[in-house]
Amino acid sequence: MQVVEIVAVVLLAAFLLGPIIALHEANLATGGIGGRALPAPQAGLMAQLAKGIVGGDMAWGLLGIGAAFGVALLLSGARAMMLIAVGMYLPFDTTSAIFVGGVIQWVASRFLAKRGAAERARAEEAGTLLASGLIAGEAVVGILLAVLFLSGVSSITHVLTGADQFGWFPALGGWTALGAFAVLGWVLVAVPLRRSNQ
């Protein structure tokens, strides 16, 4: 059993290292991992803490302010102190996506409020599976695009049309993305509701 665990750790490290290197190398123009396109706020926070401890120049004042803020949240009866703390160091695009996801979940729960417990449980399970699949799919597509970029393919659009972007993209790209997000939000509500009826 221990041998299998050692082999699993070695294989997992090898499989994880490749995608990380590919993502970093494909995004060197924006700073790689930890840069503008691939922010790594938690890793950056841990790195700053480690440098402060080792270098002896820890920002104790900021840590004290954070601790006092945590105590204030605890005394005020905040229900999600950890979410507040995590939201303070995550980039705005990440926290805004979490907020939109919460709104979608709230809308779905409003539709499910008058249904039975079994239907609500089936809908929640279907919604969790769908959201988890979207998260995993986004990660896999990001790695595949990084590998394509490293192999000399600048973009899928370039392969299809020979240009780096579609001609209509500068004028309509934002509206297209907004429509895609609206469809995605509808799917995240409609599919769990449909599953709850089965």
DSSP 38: B
Residue 82 lies in a domain: no
- Tell me the pLDDT of the chain (198 aa) as tens digits: 889 999 988 888 877 888 888 878 887 887 777 777 777 777 777 777 788 778 777 778 888 888 898 888 888 888 777 777 777 777 787 788 888 888 888 888 888 887 878 888 888 888 888 888 988 888 888 888 888 877 777 777 777 777 777 778 788 878 888 899 899 889 888 888 886 666
Q: Tell me the pTM.
A: 0.65
Q: In which residue are the tokens 């922010």 written?
A: 39
Residue 70 lies in a domain: no
- Asked whether the beta carbons of 192 and 124 are under 8 A apart, the reply is yes
- Provide the residue range defining the domain that includes 140: 92-198
Give me the pLDDT at residue 183, please.
Answer: 92
> How many whole angstroms from its chain centre is CA 125?
20
Contacts of 20 (CB under 8 A, 6+ apart): 33
b/e map of 117-141 (b: 16 or more CB within 10 Å)? eebbebbbebbeeeeeeeeeeeeee
Residue 195 lies in a domain: yes
Residue 73 lies in a domain: no
Contacts of 102 (CB under 8 A, 6+ apart): none
Contacts of 59 (CB under 8 A, 6+ apart): 52
Residue 1 lies in a domain: no
Residue 169 lies in a domain: yes
- Asked whether the beta carbons of 130 and 124 are under 8 A apart, the reply is no
Q: Report how many domains make up the chain.
A: 1
Residue 189 lies in a domain: yes
Give me the pLDDT at residue 198, please.
Answer: 61
Which tokens belong to 28?
């060197």
Residue 188 lies in a domain: yes
Three-state secondary-structure class, residue 33: strand
